[in-house]
């Protein structure tokens, strides 16, 4: 674990490069799979499920009995934990509701905006090395609050062709009854085009590996929206001599165990803190069940020593982390000065894992630097805003001439005529 000392700005881009493959590396594979699904529907989905997940399915959809029987396979303690998390997530996202905005911009000219739910949404829930049932809470809860009328859930099956019972229980708890045993690129393709079994949706949500991320981006070329480009997980911690090195190490490892392409970064203004965190990582990693995966991810980690808080915050803003933990003597400085982050965790008693599960915020967040342009999933992600306007005779007399002049200046005579006809009718009354 090498420490980089006060890197120059011209080296930041290379230093903080994510360990991901490029879009072009994966796009050809995605295009081929999408084309086959578009042409062959369920048959193509079953073929790719056999190829990538190693299981031959007879039915893509989880049966009603499978969903109902899952509850008995989940411990009461875990069910209580899931219900607690669901309650907090519901509280936080319910509070994000807004009233319609209505303004009279001129006497007789009234404009307003109202939110309407996206009717058909698809939720992608990673399975693979870790069945992320918590992501169901993060996506299904706000979808239900928004009022989405059709919610489709896709998640990969295991080698026995089954879905983790905790995933099915959580789906049922959230009122989701359309659950499909499909993962990866083929899941995104199925929700993009629709098949004989899986409905087409208007917007796709959910994190995934690099293949899922590219598949979602390709889906946007087929009239389907996505939440954001959300790929392999990443975490940046800024810590100084006031931080607890054991806590910081545990936070870095909590992201490293997501997958070999995860990235964790420690930024500090104190070199001894970096040394102490590295020692703690070495100790803690040895007892992790996913040790091999975490070790490979730690190989992509960066330990960066900066001269002061100002330069540290500038570096962090340049990186734009998905998850950002602040554990310093002046947390407020970073809170106020960081503009690019998916979700921020403040103080030594606020681990990133709290946001992953039960504090109430959403864990579906922009990665790969997209925090500079995208927000994490929130209630508005499941809505679209429609604007309305109503103009009276008085309103026409107040803005009509301005519309005529502007339309004529742009050379759009029909636009002008649409206003002129109304003005003339009012004048001739």
Measured CA to CA, the distance from residue 189 to residue 303 in angstroms comes to: 38
Query: Active site includes 322?
Result: yes
User: Residues annotated in the binding site, as ranges?
Assistant: 124, 186, 209, 233, 255, 258, 323, 356, 410, 415
Stated pTM of the model: 0.93
Q: What is the pLDDT of residue 324?
A: 98
The CATH number corresponding to 392-427 among 3.90.1410.10, 3.40.50.360, 2.40.50.140, 1.20.5.1300 equals 1.20.5.1300
Q: What SS3 class is residue 164?
A: coil
390 phi and psi angles, rounded to 5 deg: -140, 130
Domain with CATH 1.20.5.1300 in the chain: 392-427
Closest by Cα among 94, 217, 205 to 153:
205
H or E element at residue 335: helix 331-337
Q: What is the pLDDT of residue 9?
A: 95
User: Residues annotated in the binding site for substrate, as ranges?
Assistant: 233, 255, 258, 323, 356, 410, 415
195 touches 41 (CB < 8 A): yes
61 phi and psi angles, rounded to 5 deg: -85, 135
Domain 23-100+121-227 has CATH 2.60.410.10: no
Tally DSSP H helices, then E strands, for the chain. Answer: 17, 14
Domain with CATH 3.40.50.1980 in the chain: 3-19+232-360, 23-100+121-227
Per-residue pLDDT 10s for the chain (429 aa) are 789 999 999 999 999 988 766 677 789 999 999 999 999 999 999 999 999 999 999 999 999 999 999 999 999 999 999 999 999 999 999 999 999 999 999 999 999 999 999 999 999 999 866 678 999 999 999 999 999 999 999 999 999 999 999 999 999 999 999 999 999 999 999 999 999 999 999 999 998 888 998 999 999 999 999 999 777 789 999 999 999 999 999 999 998 887 777 889 999 999 999 999 999 999 999 888 888 878 887 888 899 999 999 999 999 999 999 999 999 999 999 999 999 999 999 999 999 999 999 999 999 999 989 999 999 999 999 999 999 999 999 999 999 999 999 999 999 999 999 999 999 999 998
Contacts of 229 (CB under 8 A, 6+ apart): 213, 216, 217, 366, 367, 368, 370, 374
Query: Active site includes 5?
Result: no
- The CATH superfamily label for domain 3-19+232-360 reads Nitrogenase molybdenum iron protein domain (3.40.50.1980)
User: Residues annotated in the binding site for NAD(+), as ranges?
Assistant: 124, 186, 209
User: Residues annotated in the binding site for Zn(2+), as ranges?
Assistant: 255, 258, 356, 415
Measured CA to CA, the distance from residue 358 to residue 295 in angstroms comes to: 27
Q: What is the pLDDT of residue 128?
A: 65
- The length of the chain is 429
Catalytic residue among 257, 322, 352, 363: 322
Catalytic residue among 234, 323, 352, 363: 323
**H-only helix segments in 42-158:** 42-53, 64-70, 76-94, 134-146
Q: What is the pLDDT of residue 21?
A: 63
H or E element at residue 32: helix 23-40
């Amino acid at each position: 674990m090498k420490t980089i000392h006060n890197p120059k700005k011209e080296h930041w881009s290379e230093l903080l490069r994510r360990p991901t493959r490029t879009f072009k590396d994966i796009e050809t594979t995605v295009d081929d799979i999408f084309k086959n699904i578009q042409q062959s529907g369920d048959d193509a989905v079953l073929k790719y499920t056999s190829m990538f997940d190693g299981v031959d399915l007879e039915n893509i959809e989880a049966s009603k009995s499978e969903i109902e029987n899952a509850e008995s396979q989940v411990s009461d303690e875990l069910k209580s934990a899931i219900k607690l998390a669901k309650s907090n997530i519901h509280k936080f996202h319910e509070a994000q509701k807004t009233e319609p905005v209505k303004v009279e911009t001129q006497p007789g000219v009234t404009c307003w905006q109202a939110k309407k739910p996206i009717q058909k949404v698809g939720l992608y829930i990673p399975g693979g090395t870790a069945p992320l049932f918590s992501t169901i809470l993060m996506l299904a809860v706000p979808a239900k609050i928004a009022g989405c009328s059709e919610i489709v859930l896709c998640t990969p099956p295991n080698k026995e062709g089954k879905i983790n019972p905790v995933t099915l229980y959580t789906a049922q708890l959230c009122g989701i009854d359309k659950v499909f045993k499909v993962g990866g690129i083929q899941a995104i393709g199925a929700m993009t085009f629709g098949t004989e079994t899986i409905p087409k949706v208007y917007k796709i949500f959910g994190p995934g590996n690099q293949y899922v991320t590219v598949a979602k981006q390709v889906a946007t070329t087929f009239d389907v929206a996505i939440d954001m480009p959300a790929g392999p997980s990443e975490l940046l911690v800024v810590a100084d001599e006031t931080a607890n090195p054991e806590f910081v190490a545990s936070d870095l490892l909590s992201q490293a165990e997501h997958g070999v392409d995860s990235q964790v970064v420690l930024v500090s203004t104190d070199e001894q803190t970096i040394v102490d965190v590295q020692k703690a990582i070495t100790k803690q990693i040895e007892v992790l069940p996913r040790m091999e995966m975490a070790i490979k991810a730690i190989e992509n980690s960066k330990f960066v020593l900066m001269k002061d808080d100002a330069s540290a915050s500038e570096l962090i803003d340049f990186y734009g982390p998905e998850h950002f933990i602040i554990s310093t003597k002046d947390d407020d400085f970073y809170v106020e000065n960081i503009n690019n982050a998916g979700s921020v965790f403040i103080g030594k008693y606020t681990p990133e894992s709290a946001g992953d599960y039960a504090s109430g915020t959403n864990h579906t967040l922009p990665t790969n630097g997209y925090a500079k342009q995208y927000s994490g999933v929130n209630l508005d992600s499941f809505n679209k805003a429609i604007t309305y306007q109503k103009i009276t005779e008085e309103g026409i007399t107040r803005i009509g001439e301005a519309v005529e002049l502007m339309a004529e200046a742009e050379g759009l005579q029909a636009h002008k005529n649409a206003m002129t006809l109304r003005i003339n009718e009012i004048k001739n009354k």
